[in-house]
Chains A and B, each alone.
Chain A
Amino acid sequence: MLGWVRDIANRRELVWILIERNLKIRYKSSFLGFFWSLLSPLFLIFIYSLFLGVLKFPIHLPTLVTGIIAWQFLAMCMGDSLYSIVGNANLVTKAAFPRMILPLSMVGANALNFLFSFVVLSVYLVFAGASFGGAGWLPLIMLTQAALCLGMAMIVGSANVFFRDTEHVMSVIMLAWFFLSPVIYEPEMIMEGFPRWVQVAFYLNPMSGILTAYRAALLTPPAVDGGLVAMSFGVAWAVFGAGLLVFRAAEPRFGDEL
């Protein structure tokens, strides 16, 4: 395990170059380039502010927008994770390097993108009069979400090497996950009137606590369910651990399957 961390630390140049490549490819031949990572959250906030009144969602705009921008980090990672190994088949079959660098640099690129969006979000929240009361917790929250993303990416990326219908399974899971996470609603709402198993699933869902924690850190929520946040963080890091185990077992066979 320690050897692994050292191997990757030794190849941090490669991690950076791959992060750079992932970002460059994302904005390849686009006129505004990197500005898109600032523009898209801006448009997102603008559009939701226009339609929130019409849709009559019982949620404040800052709460909603915080949820959506944080959710997008996960959603982007999950979409990219399918191809983090398969899409780099020519590298995997050509040269030996720690394969973990591929999902790691993919999550890294999305994390940078998320940070840009987060800057835009913060500027908006300042105008919306947010308190930023628990901003000191943000690094831990972001790190935990990144660990969750990387854990999932290692599992999904490996699975897609062996089973090419992972993509279809993923789109179903992501839809369910979205509605099971408090992105467009607040935790209290799902606790009323839903079957017990939905509530249990909601409680075990690592995104429930992560989204709640972001809102608690930035906004001024009425009361934060500390148990939910602790549980989610535990599950998120457990997913990261599971991802490491799966990836380690699958990695030696990548070269044969691709």
Chain B
Amino acid sequence: MSGPESSGPAIVVERMGKRFRLQRSGTRTIKSAMLDLMRNRGAGKNAFWALQDMNFVVNRGETLGIVGANGAGKSTLLSLLAGTKVPTTGSIRTTGTISSLLELGAGFHPDLTGRENVFLAGAIMGLSRRQMRERFDAIVDFAGMRDFIDQPVKHYSSGMYVRLGFSVAVEVDPDILLIDEVLAVGDENFQKKCLQKIDAFRRAGKTMLIISHDLSTIQTISDRILFLDQGRIEGIGDPREVIGRYRALARSRQTGGYEREWGTGEARIEGVTFEDESGRETDLFESGGTVRCRIRYRAERRIEEPVFGFGLSDANARLIFGSNMQIEGFRLPAIEGEGEVVLDLGGLPVAAGHYLFSFSLHSSDHRTNYHRLDHCFAITVTSDSRFEGVCRIPCAWSAPGPA
């Protein structure tokens, strides 16, 4: 199956909206439907718009990343594109065959063998038995499951399930591939294989739509990013820029209105990212774990001996700890243009919860505040240990015997 002959975009979405009826708890019965009728509750009251005013075009060969908070409508958008849900208003036009990794291996029947399920999945995606026979070996090899392929899939581990599902979806060689959060499943080895396959797809000129919460990965693999917020398009375009806006919005939602920003603007803190012990970018940390803050700055003119400072506050903006380069005895000779400074925290001795970081950039005599970002960066800390208060002080108990 080669790509479709006609030229033009792969996906065109116009004035598209999707409305859901809200389900009350439990399944619907004839009784509840009658009661609704008698109470004259039409569709209007119990409906909500999951997606509204969707207008966008995905070009052939493009990789579009989709980001947004939980409930923003990302998965609904992919099911509409896959054709498993029907838009309430507007239209969606797609060109070429579509394969979706919405729920990997979800179409598998537990009592059938891997082999039977592979053929079933292929038929569902529109391939003939002959076409599937040609691809069968490649599918089994990619999943690495030669030994288990004639076992009923109910005996498979969840990892095997996902691997086989991914293999089928990519080997059917669709023109458009829809991927929902699969970068987060499987072991590291398989994830690497998935990313390689996604890269191969890109090079083969396939169109891909990818949902992920892994912002750094999605930023590198996407040509453009679509940012959904509460069922509307909040931004679409350059990955770096749109993900920056998504991060900013997510942050302002979390900072609870305590964030403040001021300064002369001669030099600015352009952005701060946080990394955990393994060097992975994240906003989620374990109590006691290390935090590395990468502070990107931009100075409009040369500034001698600038001082960067930071503060960590609890969710109510009460300062827990604050320090700066001067206090810690680090001297930065001068800054000019763009650059980065790194702040390492040797361990977060705080209880589980939400915390706010503040960063500042000021002159060495503290007279001029070039830029201050108070309570602008939210992080979340998890903990296995239960203790009272905000901060953990190392403590040990003992019971010396009677003297």
| Least distance between B102 CB and chain A CB atoms (Å) | 6
Q: Which residues of A contact B103 (CB under 8 A)?
A: 90, 93-94
A21 partner, pick from B27, B33, B116, B128, beta carbons under 8 A:
B116
Which residues of B (105-153) have their CB < 8 Å from a CB of A?
106-107, 109, 111-112, 116, 119-120, 123-129
Q: Is the CB of A165 within 8 A of B79?
A: no
From known contacts A25-B112, A255-B79, A255-B84, infer whether A94 and B126 are also in contact, taking CB-CB under 8 Å.
Answer: no
Q: Which residues of A contact B84 (CB under 8 A)?
A: 92-96, 255
A14 partner, pick from B30, B33, B123, beta carbons under 8 A:
B123
B66-90 toward A: CB 8 Å interface, digit per residue (1/0)?
0000000000000100111110000
Q: Which residues of B contact A245 (CB under 8 A)?
A: none
Q: Is the CB of B129 within 8 A of A21?
A: no
Q: Is the CB of A95 within 8 A of B100?
A: yes
From known contacts A25-B109, A94-B107, infer whether A13 and B85 are also in contact, taking CB-CB under 8 Å.
Answer: no
| Number of B positions contacting A (CB below 8 A) | 33
Q: Is the CB of B107 within 8 A of A165?
A: no
State A21–B111 Cα separation when bound (angstroms). Answer: 10
| Least distance between A208 CB and chain B CB atoms (Å) | 28
Which residues of B (16-32) have their CB < 8 Å from a CB of A?
20-21, 27-31
B208 lies within 8 A of chain A by Cβ: no
Which residues of A (161-196) have their CB < 8 Å from a CB of B?
162-165, 169
B98 lies within 8 A of chain A by Cβ: yes
| Least distance between A247 CB and chain B CB atoms (Å) | 14
Q: Which of A17, A21, A96, A255 has the most CB of B within 10 A?
A: A96
A142-162 toward B: CB 8 Å interface, digit per residue (1/0)?
000000000000000000001
Residue ID in chain B nearest A91 by CB atoms:
B107
Residue ID in chain B nearest A25 by CB atoms:
B111
Q: Is the CB of B123 within 8 A of A17?
A: yes
State A204–B153 Cα separation when bound (angstroms). Answer: 47
Residue ID in chain B nearest A169 by CB atoms:
B30
Q: Is the CB of B79 within 8 A of A14?
A: no
| Least distance between A30 CB and chain B CB atoms (Å) | 11
State A46–B31 Cα separation when bound (angstroms). Answer: 44
Q: Which residues of A contact B106 (CB under 8 A)?
A: 90, 93-94
State A162–B337 Cα separation when bound (angstroms). Answer: 63
State A162–B83 Cα separation when bound (angstroms). Answer: 20
From known contacts A21-B116, A95-B100, A256-B20, infer whether A164 and B27 are also in contact, taking CB-CB under 8 Å.
Answer: yes
Residue ID in chain A nearest B18 by CB atoms:
A256
Q: Is the CB of A97 within 8 A of B112?
A: no
State A91–B84 Cα separation when bound (angstroms). Answer: 9
A17 partner, pick from B27, B85, B119, beta carbons under 8 A:
B119
| Least distance between A145 CB and chain B CB atoms (Å) | 27
Q: Which of A25, A94, A97, A255 has the most CB of B within 10 A?
A: A94
A252 lies within 8 A of chain B by Cβ: yes
Q: Is the CB of A94 within 8 A of B29?
A: no
| Least distance between B91 CB and chain A CB atoms (Å) | 14
Which residues of A (1-55) have their CB < 8 Å from a CB of B?
11, 13-14, 17-18, 21, 24-25, 28-29
Q: Which residues of B contact A93 (CB under 8 A)?
A: 79, 84, 102-103, 106
Which residues of B (284-315) have their CB < 8 Å from a CB of A?
none
| Least distance between B76 CB and chain A CB atoms (Å) | 10
From known contacts A90-B103, A163-B28, A256-B20, infer whether A95 and B85 are also in contact, taking CB-CB under 8 Å.
Answer: no
Q: Which residues of A contact B128 (CB under 8 A)?
A: 13
Q: Which of A17, A90, A95 has the most CB of B within 10 A?
A: A95
24 A-B pairs (CB sep. < 8 Å)? A11-B123, A13-B127, A14-B124, A17-B120, A18-B120, A21-B109, A21-B116, A21-B120, A25-B109, A90-B106, A90-B107, A91-B107, A92-B84, A93-B102, A93-B103, A94-B100, A95-B84, A96-B83, A162-B28, A165-B31, A252-B86, A253-B86, A256-B20, A256-B21
- 4 closest residue pairs by CB, A with B: A96-B83, A255-B85, A14-B123, A252-B86
- Which residues from chain B sit less than 8 Å from chain A, CB to CB? 20-21, 27-31, 33, 79, 82-86, 98, 100, 102-103, 106-107, 109, 111-112, 116, 119-120, 123-129
Q: What would 12 more interface pairs be, CB under 8 Å, given A24-B116, A25-B109, A255-B85?
A: A17-B120, A94-B84, A94-B102, A94-B124, A96-B98, A97-B124, A162-B28, A163-B29, A164-B28, A164-B29, A165-B31, A256-B85
